[in-house]
Amino acid sequence: MKNTARLIAIISLSASVASCCQAPKSEGPVYLDDSQPIEARVEDALSRMTLEEKVKVIHAQSKFSSAGVPRLGIPELWTTDGPHGIRPEVLWDEWDQAGWTNDSCVAFPALTCLAATWNEDMSALYGKSIGEEARFREKDILLGPGVNIYRTPLNGRNFEYMGEDPYLASRMVVPYVQEVQKNGVAVCVKHYALNNQESKRHEYDAVVDDRTLYEIYLPAFKAAVQEGGAWSIMGAYNFYKGQHACHNEYLLNDILKGEWGFDGVVISDWGGTHETDQAITNGLDLEFGTWTDGLTMGATNGYDAYYLADPYLEKLRNGTASEDVLDDKVRRVLRLMFRTAMNNDKPAGSMCSPEHYDAARKIAGEGIVLLKNDNDVLPIDLSSAGKIAVIGENAIKMMTVGGGSSSLKAQHECTPLEGLIAAAGDRIVYERGYVGDVSGSYNGVVTGQDLSESRSEEQLIADAVALAKTADAVIFVGGLNKASHQDCEDSDRYHLELPYAQDKVIEALAEANPNLAVVIISGNAVAMPWIDNVNAVVEGWYIGSQMGHALADVLFGKVNPSGKLPFTFPAKLEDNGAHALNAYDPADLSVEYKEGIYVGYRWAEKQNIKPLFAFGHGLSYTDFTYGDAECAKASVKAGSNVTVSVDVTNSGKVAGKEVVQLYIGDDESSVDRPVKELKGFRKISLEPGETKTVTFTIEPDMLKYFDAAKHEWVLENGKFTAYVGSASDDIRTTVQFEVR
């Protein structure tokens, strides 16, 4: 249907061109002349549109498209989920797939893994690759990336986001946005804002003070807009200040379009629009998914009945709504069209290319985090290893299907077991160990796996232990999956613990064989009551099509792990600020962010809590030695930059990459501030014995806090400390400087 509609648009466009070519050039449509500035083309197209055509382009015409103006040769806009791969084509009015045979994709790692690379080059590679896939499929808008902050480890959608720290998320989102849009495909950064849980996501009202809003929950969105140049933003489902985020005066008009100067389109989340008057006045530009099944439910719930459709048109006709406000929305949509659907300079794109598979594997390898490695259990030396026991359902379960709107139809998915066998051959022997989620379908995409199991829990554990006792090394692959109440849209987790009695399996395996490595597949932190009995632990994330190969690369030492955690692993749920203050309850409709700015490591350090694994933590198969940090000037005038340098040496025996992290603490603040906050990071590659100097430039804005009473960022005089290290809890050197 999409191709047919676009063909009509092309024919109309050709007719318009032919028509205008018969007239003097000055009388032809400027909007067809791509040598003209976009703003001139927008105004020209707007001036030619009828009232009905203007309204038509600001709401959906199908599940994933909005209308163009065939009379003027203006094409439709086509959107697609998701941030980790291009969703299969769906039926016009339904969520289920359309049954195409050429709409498979490369599944890229989930964004938690991308954030764990702490490497902006990996973000650029990700954006370039997924942007090329979206372009090849003729998509105009990619619904992602997501940058909501990791507030609680129970949020079922954390795997789609970039962690707990606003600075890290800000730096990682910008290259993604820029590289996607070089393909003539708009990103739609989501979910703006304060969508930090899935429980009651359509109903809860986030109660957040302005300082917390500006310091923690907005910076990544701001960076995507002002530095990345994002062409569209998706509103969130939740309320804020008593208004839905998809039509919210403060978030959309005052901050996004006012303070940040956003010139793109605000798109509703699917079903996020609830009222015509607020949708008109409070910043929404393009409405999608308002609980319609399209033609199957008739006109009362069809696309013309959307809040920004016939109800809006009626208000315009009777004079109760201003056409000036409508024109602002249409200008934004037209501007988006000229940047995407009517952009004649777009590259062709590519789909499922070898380069994209290589990119997925490379990003995954850089994002996998080595959490613990006592007694050098890892890497497993294939030149001397005999039998290697692989145990756990997640070693065989496909993870690209399920989890909500990010579910994919991957052209190929290499499971952990397949990847390990490809690398180690018949030395790999498998036992299941536990039974978890045996389902394998989402919106008509089916994995085809038969995960049925007749053995009891006790027998599964006994069989796994028997195998482990005969093996030279044991790899347990477990964690979470994409089922409801795990890592899944529309539901939060019930608890921090591993499901399906996995703790019992791990304890039994640790007793059976000390050469045990536990690989956690998840997008969230999990409790590890067995941590003292296990020598090696790896956070493997959801890493898409190349999961098995990337895990094998790290476990067998082909790739030296260099990932760092983008969020804190608390030892217990109550060590998280939101839970310590009873500020998260899945039944609450008013969610007060009582912890304020103390999210993640900020809370742990304020309360002097030792986490299970700290923000920024990640080990290597080599060692890195830090010299003393040096500051170019011990005292600088306010408004001047501060330069901090440190030498880092690979003091081990193999090449590796280290993420050098810079945190800043305000030692003399007049207001309550965190002990320290991330303000810089560099990922460097070092050969054994090699030393590199890492230099950070600290700009004045990095030292400011948000004064809610003044509604401005404030830099105070006084002493600051720069903390440089390998993790938030592994500071190797400090240096103090003064701002006057």
Per the CB < 8 A criterion, the answer to whether 660 and 682 are in contact is: yes
702 and 678 Cβ atoms separated by less than 8 Å: no
Annotated active-site residue 667? The verdict is no
Tokens 């509609």 correspond to what residue?
5
pLDDT at 625 over 50: yes
Give SS3 for 7: helix
Please say if the pLDDT value at position 10 is more than 90.
Answer: no
Q: Under CATH, to which class is 77-339 assigned?
A: alpha beta
Return the pLDDT at 396. 98
Close Cβ partners of 476 (under 8 Å, ≥ 6 residues apart): 391, 392, 433, 505, 506, 509, 516, 517, 518, 519
User: DSSP state, 720?
Assistant: E
Where exactly are the structural domains of the chain? 77-339, 360-566, 624-739
Percent of the chain with pLDDT over 70: 95
Pick the catalytic residue: 269, 437, 487, 666?
Answer: 269
Q: List, in order, residues 6 or more apart from 557 with CB less than 8 Å away.
A: 378, 379, 380, 381, 621
Question: Residue 410: in which H helix or E strand, if any?
Answer: none
| Nearest residue to 467 via CA among 417, 519, 510, 431 | 431
> What global pTM score does this model have?
0.95
pLDDT of residue 291: 80
Q: Which pLDDT score is estimated for 293?
A: 67
- Count of helices and strands (H, E) across the chain: 18, 29
What's the CATH code, domain 360-566? 3.40.50.1700
In whole angstroms, give the CA distance from residue 17 to residue 14.
5
Reduced to 3 states, what is the DSSP secondary structure of residue 155? Answer: coil
Q: pLDDT band at residue 21, thresholds of 50, 70 and 90? A: very low
pLDDT digits (tens, 9 = 90+) for 377-417: 999 999 999 999 999 999 999 999 999 999 999 999 999 99
Average pLDDT over residues 651-669: 98
Average pLDDT over residues 518-540: 98
**Of 637 and 594, the one with more pLDDT:** 594
Rounded Cα gap, residues 127 and 131, in angstroms: 6
From the list 418, 420, 417, 401, the residue with the least C-alpha distance to 409 is 401
Could you read off the pLDDT of 331-373 as tens digits, one per residue?
A: 999 999 999 999 999 999 999 999 999 999 999 999 999 999 9
Which CATH superfamily is 624-739 part of? Immunoglobulins (2.60.40.10)
Tell me the per-residue pLDDT of 80-92, one tens digit each, with 9 for 90 and over: 998 899 999 999 9
Can you tell me the mean pLDDT for 152-166?
A: 98
Q: Mean pLDDT of all residues in the chain?
A: 95
What is residue 566's predicted lDDT score, i.e. its pLDDT? 99
24 has a pLDDT exceeding 60: no
pLDDT cut 90: percent of the chain above it = 92
Residue 267's SS3 state is strand
pLDDT at 294: 59
